[in-house]
C-alpha cells in the first residue's frame, strides 16, 4: 500500500471506503471514494496535495480551519476543496453524514518538472487552501479519475499520469503564488513530427505487455511529459491512454483467438489489475465476456 493510500486511511479512519486505487499501480497519485459519518476528522499534516470532490449532494456541511481561514461549506454535487502539501489544518468537522466523496491525492513529486509555469521551481506548498472552488476543469479531471476508479481500463495507469500532469499544471498556473500566465502559448509549439511519432508507435507496439509510462513515451518522443500528451493526441486523434488501451484489447482478442493462454494471464499481460476488471472492460468494448468470445472464435 502506498504512502498516499495510507494517508487517506489515517485521515479518515471512520469513513466507509467504497472504491480505492490501491492495487492499481498508479504513479504519483491515488484516489478513494468514501461515505463520511458526522464527525471531527483527524487532521495530519499532508505530504501530498488533496483535492476533494462531492459526487452527490448531502445535507451536511464541512467546516475547516487552517492558514488563518475558517471555511463553512455546503455540500452539493460538484463541490470542490483543496488542501495543499504542508497545510496544518487545525480542525475539520462534518456536521451530517456525507455520501460519495472523492479524494484525489497528488504526490509531491508530481509538481517537479513544471519550472516553465513559474518564475522559479514551483512549490506545492504555495498553492491556495480553498473551499467551494468553482473550477470546471478540475471538476472534470476528477470525474475522469473517478470513472477510471470505477471502471478500470488497460491504459488506466497511463491515463492517470496524463490526467494528473494536466491537473498539476493547471493548479500551478491558476492557484500558485509563483505562477505566471501564458501556459497555452508557451506549450502550443510542441509537435510530434512523423519520425518521432513512428518511433513512439513502434515502441508501443513492441512493449504492449510491459509497463508503458508517460515518462518513457515522452523520452522516446524527446518531449516533456506535459508536452507529449497534447502532441500525441494532436498527431493521432486519441490521447495516449485510449490509444494504448485499444491496442491492448486488440492484443487480448488475438490471444483469445490464437492461443490457449489463460484468462488470468491475458489480464496480466494486458496490464489489468485482475481478471475480473479485464472481463468487465472486455465486455464493455466487445459486448461479450472473454470466455464467451473464445468459445465462439474457436468453435
Residues 144 and 280 occupy one common structural domain:
no
Euclidean distance between CA atoms 111 and 117, whole angstroms: 11
Residue 188 above 90 pLDDT?
no
What domain range is 261 assigned to? 243-298
Q: What is the pLDDT of residues 209-263, one digit of tens each?
A: 998 888 899 889 888 777 888 889 888 888 888 899 999 999 999 999 999 999 9
Instruction: Provide DSSP, 111-152.
Output: GTT-GGGBSSS--GGGB--EES---HHHHHHHHHHHHHHHS-
Residues 67 and 170 occupy one common structural domain:
yes
Residues 52 and 84 occupy one common structural domain:
yes
Residues 32 and 99 occupy one common structural domain:
yes
Q: Which of the pair, 208 or 178, is modelled with greater confidence?
A: 208
Residues 93 and 216 occupy one common structural domain:
no
pLDDT band at 124 (very low <50, low <70, confident <90, very high): low
Judge contact between 164 and 110, C-beta under 8 A: yes
How much is the pLDDT for 17?
A: 96
Q: Dihedral sign, CA of 205, 207, 210, 214?
A: negative
Amino acid at each position: 500500500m502506498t504512502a498516499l493510500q495510507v494517508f487517506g486511511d489515517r485521515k479518515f479512519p471512520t469513513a466507509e471506503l467504497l472504491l480505492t486505487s490501491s492495487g492499481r499501480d498508479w504513479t504519483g497519485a491515488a484516489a478513494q471514494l468514501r461515505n463520511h459519518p458526522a464527525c471531527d476528522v483527524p487532521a495530519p499534516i499532508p505530504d501530498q496535495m488533496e483535492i476533494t470532490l462531492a459526487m452527490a449532494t448531502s445535507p451536511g456541511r464541512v467546516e475547516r480551519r487552517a492558514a488563518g481561514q475558517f471555511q463553512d461549506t455546503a455540500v452539493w454535487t460538484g463541490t470542490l476543496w483543496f488542501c495543499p502539501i504542508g497545510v496544518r489544518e487545525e480542525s475539520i468537522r462534518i456536521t451530517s453524514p456525507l455520501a460519495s466523496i472523492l479524494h484525489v491525492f497528488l504526490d509531491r513529486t508530481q509538481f517537479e518538472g513544471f519550472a516553465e509555469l513559474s518564475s522559479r521551481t514551483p512549490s506545492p506548498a504555495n498553492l491556495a487552501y480553498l473551499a467551494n472552488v468553482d473550477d470546471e476543469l478540475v471538476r472534470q479531471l476528477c470525474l475522469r479519475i473517478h470513472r477510471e476508479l470505477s471502471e478500470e481500463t488497460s491504459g488506466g495507469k497511463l491515463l492517470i499520469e496524463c490526467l494528473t500532469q494536466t491537473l498539476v499544471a493547471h493548479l500551478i498556473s491558476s492557484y500558485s503564488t509563483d505562477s505566471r500566465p501564458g501556459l497555452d502559448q508557451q506549450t502550443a509549439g510542441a509537435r510530434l513530427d512523423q519520425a518521432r511519432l513512428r518511433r513512439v508507435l513502434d515502441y508501443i507496439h513492441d512493449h504492449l505487455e510491459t509497463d508503458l509510462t508517460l515518462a518513457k513515451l515522452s523520452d522516446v518522443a524527446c518531449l516533456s511529459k506535459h508536452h507529449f500528451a497534447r502532441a500525441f493526441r494532436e498527431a493521432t486523434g486519441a490521447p495516449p491512454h485510449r490509444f494504448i488501451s485499444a491496442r491492448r484489447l486488440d492484443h487480448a482478442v488475438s490471444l483469445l483467438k490464437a492461443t490457449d493462454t489463460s484468462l488470468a494471464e491475458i489480464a496480466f499481460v494486458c496490464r489489468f489489475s485482475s481478471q475480473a476488471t479485464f472481463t468487465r472492460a472486455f465486455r464493455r468494448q466487445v459486448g461479450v465476456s472473454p470466455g464467451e468470445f473464445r468459445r465462439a472464435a474457436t468453435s
